[in-house]
């Protein structure tokens, strides 16, 4: 039987999506916009725009990242001052795998979405895999925004970047995040991980979730 070459299929989709450079390209519930001059990518959903972080987002980042209910659940300490937030934007968020999750109406950064590749992830992921991580500011919880942003990122990772398997994980005391992953199709692998370099990583095991690319 002839084997279906999913790698080619992904790159075919990728080519198709990038063919009309600078055009508005609709794709399964999200839209990818590519800036004609800078090639900067923006991912748009019904309520959100995922765009690159800017230093001018430091004030919003600090407002939400100083909350002790946000960072520790994802494994990082609350930000102490706006200068720390500015540094995080500059040194950690400025790359082509990390997006500010912004409200369509106001452009305010209310969260973060990004992915790690093989060699960067805490999970032993393969070369065609990525691990997705995210957070949303507390005033915006339980409105479906993390689910909307993660669905768009899954779509982007599979159909634009061509990854074949996506991973994500959550601390055992953070079931809301596991629920977001479930709603986006991730399945529990039954495996757990310990990450002592994460904030309070020695105290809590991490559940590992996985989503395989499915041909429709
Ligand atoms: C986890 C987080 C991203 C969820 O964001 P959100 O925008 O509120 O998520 P959504 O509204 O899309 O979905 C939340 C789901 O979790 C459920 N939920 C909320 N609290 C829960 C809890 N204590 N236990 C189980 N489920 C819970 C909600 O009911 C909802 O599910 P439903 O639609 O089936 O009712 C957000 O709380 C957050 O950023 N937390 C801090 C950082 C973090 O945990 N990041 C993820 C690291 S893995």
Q: What is the pLDDT along the chain (216 residues), one digit of tens a residue?
A: 333 344 433 333 333 354 444 554 556 668 888 877 788 889 999 999 999 999 999 999 999 999 999 999 999 999 999 999 999 999 999 999 999 999 999 999 999 999 999 999 999 999 999 999 999 999 999 999 999 999 999 999 998 899 999 999 999 999 999 999 999 999 999 999 999 999 999 999 999 999 999 865
1 falls within a domain: no
Residues flanking ligand 1, CB < 6 Å? 70, 73-74, 134-136, 141-147, 170, 174-177, 179-180
Q: Which residue puts its alpha carbon closest to atom 41 of ligand 1? A: 70
Domain range for 101 is 6-212
**158 DSSP 8-state letter:** I
How many whole angstroms from 135 Cα to the centroid of ligand 1? 9
Q: Determine the atom of ligand 1 nearest the C-alpha atom of 168.
A: 48
Query: What is this structure's pTM?
Result: 0.90
CB within 8 A of 137, min separation 6: which ones? 63, 64, 67, 70, 110, 111
Read off the CATH number of the domain in which 88 is found: 3.40.630.30
Cα–Cα distance measured from residue 112 to residue 71, given in angstroms and rounded to the nearest whole number: 11
Tally of domains in the chain: 1
Instruction: Spell out the alpha helix ranges (H) of 50-165.
Output: 58-65, 71-74, 82-88, 145-155
31 falls within a domain: yes
Torsion 189-202-133-11 (CA) sign: negative
CB 30 within 8 A of CB 152: yes
How many whole angstroms from 151 Cα to the centroid of ligand 1? 14
């Amino acid at each position: 039987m002839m084997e279906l070459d999913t790698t080619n299929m992904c790159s075919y989709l990728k080519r198709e999506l990038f063919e009309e450079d600078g055009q508005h390209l609709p794709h399964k519930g999200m839209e990818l916009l590519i800036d004609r001059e800078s090639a900067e990518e923006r991912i748009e959903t019904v309520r959100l725009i995922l765009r690159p972080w800017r230093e001018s987002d430091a004030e919003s980042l600090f407002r939400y990242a100083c909350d002790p209910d946000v960072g520790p659940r994802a494994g990082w300490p609350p930000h102490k001052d706006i200068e720390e937030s500015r540094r995080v934007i500059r040194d950690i968020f400025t790359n082509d795998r990390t997006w500010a999750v912004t409200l369509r109406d106001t452009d305010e950064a209310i969260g973060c979405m990004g992915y790690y590749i093989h060699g960067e992830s805490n999970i032993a992921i393969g070369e065609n895999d990525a691990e997705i991580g995210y957070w949303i500011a507390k005033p915006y919880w339980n409105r479906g925004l993390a689910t909307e942003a993660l669905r768009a990122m899954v779509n982007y990772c599979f159909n634009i970047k061509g990854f074949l398997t996506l991973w994500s994980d959550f601390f055992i005391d953070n079931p809301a995040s596991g629920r977001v992953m479930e709603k986006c199709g991730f399945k529990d692998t039954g495996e757990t991980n310990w990450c002592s370099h994460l904030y309070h990583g020695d105290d809590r095991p991490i559940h590992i979730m996985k989503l395989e690319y499915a041909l429709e």
